[in-house]
Structures are given as C-alpha cells and as structure tokens.
Amino acid sequence: MVVPSPDHRDRYLVIDGHKRIAALEQLGRDTVEAVVWPMGEAEALLLDRSLRFSEHETALEQGWLLAEMERRFGYGLEELARRFDRSVSWVSRRLALVELLPETIQQQVREGKISAHVAMKFLVPVARINLEDCQRMAAAFAQHHCNTRQAGQLYAAWRGGPIIRQRLLNEPALFFKAQRQAEPKATAAPAAELLRDLEMAAAIVNRATRRLAGAAEMDGQQREAARRQIERMEGQLRRLAGRIPQEQEPHVEPSATHHDSGTECPGSEPTRDRADVGNLPSVGAQSRAI
C-alpha cells in the first residue's frame, strides 16, 4: 500500500510492504504492484495501524510511531491522544520511552530483559534526573530479572538522596538480599483463613436465600439445576465437616494399665463405683451444692 508523494507527482511513499519490496529487490525485480490510497501520509499511517487491530504492538513500536507523527507532522500530545483514542498520559509515557531512554536500554526492552512497564514507570523518571544512574539501574533490573515490585523498591530507595543512590547502584544485589530478608515469612494462619472462607460461604448462602424468595418465576429446568447445585454443595460441606479433627479425649497415662495385674494391692481399699446411699446428705441445699 502506497500514497502519493507530496514532493514528486510520479512517486509514491510506501506505507505497508517494506519487507516484500526488499525481497523482490533481492530477486532482481524492479517493479511491484501496489494499492494506492488517495490520502496523506499521516492519515495513511493511522489507517494502516487501525487495520492491524489483531496484531499485538509493543510499547516501543507504539512509541516509535508516535514519535514519527510528532516529529514529521507536528502533532501535539492532545492531537495524538485523540487520533489514537488514548489518554494524554498514555501518549506521553510511550514518547518518553523512545525519546528519553538511550538505545542500550531500548534494546534491553526489545530483548525482554526489562519490561516496558518497568522502563516507563521507573527508568524514565530516573533518566530525566540522571542518565548515568538510569543506565546503571537498568543494568541492575536486567541482571536480577526484577519484576515490577522489586523495581519499585529499588526506585523508591534511590529517591532517598545522592549518597543512598550511589550505595544502591554500587551494590544492588545487597539491597535485594536485604529486601528479601525483611519480607514477612508467614501469612495468615490456616485456621483463620478457613474460618474466613466459611464466613464468606455462609454470606453467599444467605444472599442466595434472599434471591430465592424473589425467584418465583423459575421454570422447571432452572429449579432442577438449583437443586443439583444445592445437593452438590451439601455433599462438599459434609465431607469438609468430616475432615475437621474431632476433639481428643483426655490423655490417660498408660503405666497404670501396663502394670495392672488385676490383683488388689495389700492394704488398699477396693474402689467403689459410687458412694453408699447412707453417706449422702439429706439436706436439699447441701445436695445441690454437691
């Protein structure tokens, strides 16, 4: 696809098909068939992009196109945001990705060593302040395979001041090690999580009960489906209740039974099952106290 050149009447600008043209040149072909779009280059670029909705564009590719539109056609942030149907912040972040970050960091983004989100969120602000620190921080991100949380921790610490910045960038491995050690080792107790899940399940059942009161228009198929769901839930709850450990009986020392020969020890009185009736008090109040 091509558009007429504004400078030469018999020439055209290629919008889509650069790879095919290069392949034909290698084959020795000097002509190629093309579709001419009767519009300007800027409109053709936007139209071509809108036709590629099924292809995934990287943030760098979006930034390159935005920079080209800004540089060659003089579009401002608001105009670009309107034409791309995005926010001004979205446009600004992608322009900064290709205009502020050096080529070495852009290459790391292309290779997947640093995510585009991390580069836009943390490396771009550092590049605005100190380009050397930005390059060193990018190297640390790539070396330690930092995710967004880890990159945010290093960036937040870097903002602490010039002295802290140099120590962090000189020994980023030590910083990440300290962060891992400072992270909490345990989460909520399993018993507490179980009780919370059961409370949520009870709340859902209560909500279903209220909705059932207003669902008189259910047809036969819906009623049968609801009964099957309830029966399945009942079975799951019964199995869950059966898996809860029962309260254990009081512990009995085994030594008494191991050495019990069944013979009464000399001088000991036989153990009674209950007290004699004659020994029970006759006063009602005292009986209740006992």
SS3 assignment, position 12: strand
- The Cα–Cα gap between 146 and 150 comes to 5
Report the interhelical angle of 77-84 vs 59-73 (nearest 10°). 130
Tell me the CB-side half-sphere exposure of residue 70, using CA atoms within 13 A.
19
Q: Amino acid identity of 249? A: E
Q: What backbone torsions phi and psi does residue 253 show, to the nearest 5 degrees?
A: -65, 130
Mapped onto helix, strand or coil, the DSSP state of residue 36 is strand
Bigger pLDDT: 165 vs 37: 165
pLDDT digits (tens, 9 = 90+) for 248-275: 555 555 544 444 444 444 444 554 444 4
What are the tens digits of pLDDT across the range 160-197? 888 888 888 899 999 988 888 876 654 556 777 888 88
Compute the 3-state secondary structure of the chain and give helix, strand, coil in percent, each to the nearest 5.
60, 0, 35
Could you read off the pLDDT of 192-239 as tens digits, one per residue?
A: 788 888 888 888 888 888 877 777 677 778 888 888 888 988 988 888
- Sign of the dihedral defined by the CA atoms of residues 122, 124, 129, 132, in that order: positive
Residue 97 pLDDT greater than 50, yes or no: yes
Q: What is the pTM of this model?
A: 0.49
Handedness of CA 256, 260, 264, 270 (dihedral sign): positive
Exposure on the CB side of residue 42, measured as CA atoms within 13 A: 14
Q: At what angle do helices 162-170 and 148-158 cross, to 10 degrees?
A: 140
Contact 114, 142 (CB under 8 A): yes
Tokens of 91: 């446009």
What is the distance between the alpha carbons of residues 57 and 86, in angstroms, rounded to a whole number? 14
